[in-house]
Amino acid sequence: MTVMWQCQGVKPPAAPAGAVRQGSLRELNLALVLGRIAAARRPPSRAALAADTGLTRATVSAVVEDLVAGRLVTEAEPTPRAGAGRPARGLMLAGDGPAGLGLEINVDYLAACVVDLAGQVRHHTVHRADLRPVSPADALGRLAELAGRARVDANAQGLTLAGAALGVPGLVDDAGRVRLAPNLGWRDVPVPELLADHPPLTETVDGVPPLVVDNEANLAALGELHAGAAPGSFLHISGEVGIGAGIVLNGALFRGARGWSGEIGHIPVRPDGPPCRCGGRGCLELYAGQEAILSAAGLAGADLPADRASTRLTQLATAEHPAVLRALAEAGTAIGVTVASVVNLLDLDTVVLGGGYAPLTGWLRPPVLAEIERRVLTAAWSPVTVRPATLGATAAAVGAAGSVVRRIIARPGGWLARL
Amino acid sequence: MTVMWQCQGVKPPAAPAGAVRQGSLRELNLALVLGRIAAARRPPSRAALAADTGLTRATVSAVVEDLVAGRLVTEAEPTPRAGAGRPARGLMLAGDGPAGLGLEINVDYLAACVVDLAGQVRHHTVHRADLRPVSPADALGRLAELAGRARVDANAQGLTLAGAALGVPGLVDDAGRVRLAPNLGWRDVPVPELLADHPPLTETVDGVPPLVVDNEANLAALGELHAGAAPGSFLHISGEVGIGAGIVLNGALFRGARGWSGEIGHIPVRPDGPPCRCGGRGCLELYAGQEAILSAAGLAGADLPADRASTRLTQLATAEHPAVLRALAEAGTAIGVTVASVVNLLDLDTVVLGGGYAPLTGWLRPPVLAEIERRVLTAAWSPVTVRPATLGATAAAVGAAGSVVRRIIARPGGWLARL
DNA sequence: CGCTATTTGTTCAGTGGTTGAATTAAATGA
DNA sequence: TCATTTAATTCAACCACTGAACAAATAGCG
C-alpha cells in the first residue's frame, strides 16, 4: 500500500537559501505584501502598501492581483475614510480561502480546530477521554475521525484545508515519530505509519506534507505569537503534568539542533535536590509541576484530571486557602529561578505563563518577578514582563492550525502554484 | 565638531525585509555565490558553482565578473585537475581586497588585528597593560593608536579596511555605549563620543558604521564559528575573570532582545548559595569563575594576571596537584549543571570551552559531560560534544575582525556599491 | 599529429518582473 | 460645475536571469 498521508516532523521545510531565480522575486514580493496585509491593524490600500514596502504602486497592484486571484486576499467593502481624493479600497486576508487544521493529542483529551487565514477559529471540537490506556493506533484513529469531521465543517464554510499540524506532549523527531511522550506513555510511536491507513486530509502543498507533528509546547508558543500581542522574542511556559517551554526568537520558533528545545521541566533548580524520574536531581518539575503543586497544597490524593486541577487551584487560591497560597509561592519561586537563568542566557523581555499556569498568573507572577529582579543582571535597565497566555487550554491546537496558516502567509508562492 | 568616527552597537543593520527590488535580485545572487566560494574547501569553478547553486552558468559568470571587479574574488592559478575537458579556473576569496579590523579591550591588555576575506590573520598586535587604573578615554586613546598602526600595516599589504569591531568585557547597548564592564570598572562609557576625537579608521560602508562595539564573549563565539569546524549552533563559554557566553544559533549569533544575551556567569547553580556581587545567590561565577577556581586550589593570594592564571592552573593540573584537580572538578561540575540547563532549553549539540577554559578542557570535560549525561533528557539519543576553542586568547579580537569580513561576505552589495 | 570527446566559459536573443511616468478613476470642496 | 486630491491602472523601458548555441581548452586515441 502506498502511504497516502505523508507526514514529517519539524525539519525546516527545505529553507531555500539556494538560487534566486527570476520567479523567486515575485514570490518574495508576494510574501512581503501578504505579510504586511496580515500585520496591519486595519485593511491597508494598495497605495499604503506601496509606501510601506517601498515597492511601486504598479508592482503592488500586480502582486495584489495575484493574491486576490489565489483567494488569499479580498477587498474590504467601502472604507470609512475621511479626506479628499478617490477612496482607498482596503485589502484584508480572505476568510474563505485556505485554512489550517490543528490537531492535539493530550493525556485526557483530543482536539481539532480549523483556523482561517485571518486567524479566526472557524471550527473547534474537543473529545474528552483518558488516553493513557488507549493504544497509540486507536488514539490516532479517533483523532482522524475528529479531523474528518473538521474537514467537512470547514468545506461547508467554503474553506479549503491547506495543511495540518498535530501537537503531542512529547519529543518528536524529524520523521514525525514520537520518541517519548512520558505522560501519555508513548515511546517510539511512528505517527506517519499509523496514519497511513486513514484517508489523507489534504493534498501536499508546495512540497510540505499535509501533516506536521510537533511538540505541543512549541505549538502553544506559536499560537501565542500569532494570537497575542507578544513581541518577537519570548519564552512560553506551559505548566501541565510536565512543564514544557516554547522559545520564540525574532518571530520564529527556535527548535534547537534536533527539534528538542524547550525541555525546561528538567532544568535543575537544586542540583542536589530529590531525584527526578528523568535521572537528574532537583528538576523544576519537582517544584512546579502539577503533581508537586497539588501535593504541596495537600491535594495529592484528589486525582483530578489535568485541566480540573488548575481550576481547583484557582478556586482555592481565590479563597485564600493558606496551603495553596504557600504551594503557589513556592512553585513561583522555582519557576522564577529557572526563568532568571533563561533570561540571563537569552535576554528575553517577555515570559508568558501558559497552560495550567495561565489562570494562576496572579499568584505566580510576584515570586517569579522577585527572582528575576534578584538574579538577572540586566533587570535594572530592562524590565521583564510576565503575563498569562491569551489562548486558553486549547492553545496547542489553535497554535497548530495557526502554524499552517502562518506558513501560507510566509510563503504564498506554494499555495498559489497549486491552483 | 562633527563626529568623525561613527559608531554603533549591536543593533542589526537595518535588516532589509523590505522591498525586493530589481537589483536586490543581483545582490542576493552575489551573496549566494560569494558565500559558496567562501564555504568551499577548494577553489570551485564557475561551472561547479552553477551546479551547486542552481543558477545558470551564464548567470554565475556575470555574477563572478562583478565580484572579481570588486576585488572580492580572484582566479586561482592553473588548477591541477585531472580528466578530460577544458580545465576549470578556480575561484577563491581575494587576499588583497577588503579586510576587517578587530579590536579588543580587556582587563590587562589591548589588542588589534586585521583579518582578510579568506580569514587569514594579516596583522596582530597586543599591548599589555593593566587597564583598570586607566580612564576609559585614555584606554580608548591608546586603542586608537594601536588601530592606526594596524591600518598602516594593512594598507602596506594592499588591504583596505572595510570596517572595525571592538570587543569589550561588558554589556553594550544599541548605541555602542558600554553600560557596565564590572571587571574593567567601567560604567556608562560612551565609546562613540570618546572616539570622536580620533581620526576615523575607515569610511562608512553600506550604511554600516565603521566601528561596531560588542561584548567580547559574543565576538569570541563568532570567531569560533568561522574559524573552527563548529556546527551551526553551539554554546561558547569564555572563562575569564567573569564568565560570558556567546550563543550561535543556525549560524548566527543570538543577541537577545537588547543585545545582552549570554550572561551565563550569573545563572544560579545553587539558588540558596552564597551571595554574589550581582545581587543573586549561588551564581555560576562563584563556583567556576577564575577567582573561585584559584581560591579553591589554594592559590588565592597569587594575584596573577588573567592570562597567567589559566597557564598556571594547567601546569599544576598536569602535575596532578591534588587541590587543583579538586578545584577543577568542582568547577566542571558547576559548569556542567549550567550547561545541562542550557542544553535542555536550547537543544544544542556542541559546547565550546573558550578563553581561560580552553587549555583546561582536559580536566573540565569529564565532569561537564557527567552532568549532561545525568540531567539532559535527550542525552541518550543525541550526544553533546564538549571541546576546546580553536582560537587562542585573542579569540575576541580575531572574532571581531572576522565579523566585519563576514558581513561583507554575507552582503557584498554594499562593498561593491562603494566603488 | 590530428581527430573526437568532454568539460568550461561566454555570447545572445528571449522572457519575467519591476520601474516611472502618464493616464484613468472616484471622491471632496469651493 | 470644476479644480483639487488621492487611488489605482496602463505601458514603454530596463534589468537580471534563462536556455541554447558557440568558442576555448584539454585528454585520449588511433
| Res A273 pLDDT > 70 | yes
φ and ψ at B105, to 5 degrees?
A: -115, 125
- Partner A contacted by B380 (CB < 8 A): no
Q: Say what the pLDDT of residue B209 is.
A: 60
Residues around strand C, C-beta < 7 Å: A 22-23, 25-26, 29, 54-59, 62-63, 83-87; B 19-22, 45-48, 57-58, 61-62, 64-65, 83-89
Q: Residue A78's pLDDT band (boundaries 50, 70, 90)?
A: low
Report the C-alpha dihedral over residues B37, B41, B45, B47, rounded to 10 degrees.
-90
| Res B211 pLDDT > 90 | no
Q: Say what the pLDDT of residue A204 is.
A: 52
Q: Say what the pLDDT of residue B2 is.
A: 28
Q: Say what the pLDDT of residue B107 is.
A: 85
pLDDT tens readout for residues A386-406: 999 998 778 999 999 999 999
**CA A365 – CA A344 distance, rounded (Å):** 18
Please give the mean pLDDT across all residues of chain B. 87
pLDDT tens readout for residues A36-67: 999 898 899 999 999 999 999 999 999 999 99
**Mean pLDDT of all residues in B334-346:** 96
**Mean pLDDT of all residues in B205-211:** 60
Q: Say what the pLDDT of residue A305 is.
A: 65
pLDDT tens readout for residues B108-123: 899 999 999 999 999 9
Q: Which residues between 40 and 69 in chain A have a beta carbon less than 8 angstroms from any beta carbon of chain B? A: 53-55
- Partner B contacted by A346 (CB < 8 A): yes
Q: Which residue has the higher pLDDT, B370 or A299?
A: B370
| Distance C16 C1' – B250 CA (angstroms) | 33
| Res B371 pLDDT > 60 | yes
Residue B85 to chain A, least CA–CA distance (Å): 26
- Partner B contacted by A249 (CB < 8 A): yes
Q: Say what the pLDDT of residue B217 is.
A: 92
Closest CA to A104 of A307, A260, A407, A313: A307
| Res A364 pLDDT > 60 | yes
**Mean pLDDT of all residues in B248-277:** 90
Domains, in order of start, for chain B: 1-9+22-77+96-228+398-419 (3.30.420.40), 231-389 (3.30.420.40)
3-state secondary structure B168-227: ECCEECCCCEEEEECCCCEEEEEHHHHHCCCCCCCCCECCECCEEEEEHHHHHHHHHHHH
Distance from CA of residue A304 to its chain's centroid? 25
The three cell numbers locating residue B127: 599591548
**Mean pLDDT of all residues in B229-248:** 87
Residue A21 to chain B, least CA–CA distance (Å): 7
**Mean pLDDT of all residues in A285-314:** 84
Q: Which among B20, B342, B376 has the least Cβ separation from residue A345? A: B342
**Mean pLDDT of all residues in A342-368:** 95
- Partner B contacted by A183 (CB < 8 A): no
Q: Say what the pLDDT of residue A277 is.
A: 84
**Mean pLDDT of all residues in B336-356:** 94
Q: Say what the pLDDT of residue B307 is.
A: 66
Q: Which among B264, B269, B378 has the least Cβ separation from residue A260? A: B378
What is the percent of chain B with per-residue pLDDT over 90, rounded to a whole number? 63
Q: Residue A108's pLDDT band (boundaries 50, 70, 90)?
A: confident
Q: Say what the pLDDT of residue B277 is.
A: 84
Measured at the CA of A368, the angle between CA A316 and CA A305, to 5 degrees, comes to 40
- Considering only CA atoms, which residue is closest to the C1' of nucleotide C12? B58
Q: Which residue has the higher pLDDT, B112 or A306?
A: B112
Please give the mean pLDDT across all residues of chain A. 87
| Distance D9 C1' – A231 CA (angstroms) | 38
| Dihedral sign of CA atoms A190, A194, A200, A202 in order | negative
Q: Please return the burial class of A340, using the count of CB atoms within 10 Å of its CB with bins 0-12, 13-18 and 19+.
A: buried
**CA B68 – CA A193 distance, rounded (Å):** 52
| Distance D27 C1' – B84 CA (angstroms) | 5
Please give the DSSP secondary-structure letter assigned to residue A247.
Answer: E
- Considering only CA atoms, which residue is closest to the C1' of nucleotide D23? B86
**Mean pLDDT of all residues in A309-327:** 92
| Distance D3 C1' – A86 CA (angstroms) | 14
**Mean pLDDT of all residues in B215-235:** 87
Q: Say what the pLDDT of residue B381 is.
A: 80
